Amino acid sequence: MQNNALLKASELTPPIRAAFESVLGQNLQDKETLSVNAYQPRPAPTGPAREVAYQRLIEHSDQIAQRVKDVPEEEIEATFEEAVDVCATTPNDPGAKERR
């Protein structure tokens, strides 16, 4: 069973295109291609496996904190803000940043 599809925006019927635009929160350009994937999510770990996953996350966070311990907090905050701005703004939706 196929679980992915590539769709050209220019070939979508108006109702399907409108549905994708609604989901994406932006207008599609005719030259764009959509990639759609359907998959079963993996269940979250439970019991001891959940505790191990949590400990690994904490250890990883501590490693990152050690790497930036000498970086001023303002610089770290500015880096996060820049990353959010880049992710929130796309060429097709220049107003996304203002809606955050």
Per-residue pLDDT of the chain (100 residues; tens, 9 = 90+): 678 999 999 999 999 999 999 999 889 999 999 999 998 888 999 999 999 999 999 999 999 999 999 999 999 999 989 988 887 765 555 555 554 4
Run of H or E including 35: strand 33-37
Q: Where are the domains of the chain?
A: 1-40, 44-100
- The span from the CA of 16 to the CA of 18, in Å, is 5
**Stated pTM of the model:** 0.47
The pair phi, psi for residue 77, each rounded to 5°, is -60, -45
d(CA 3, CA 38): 5
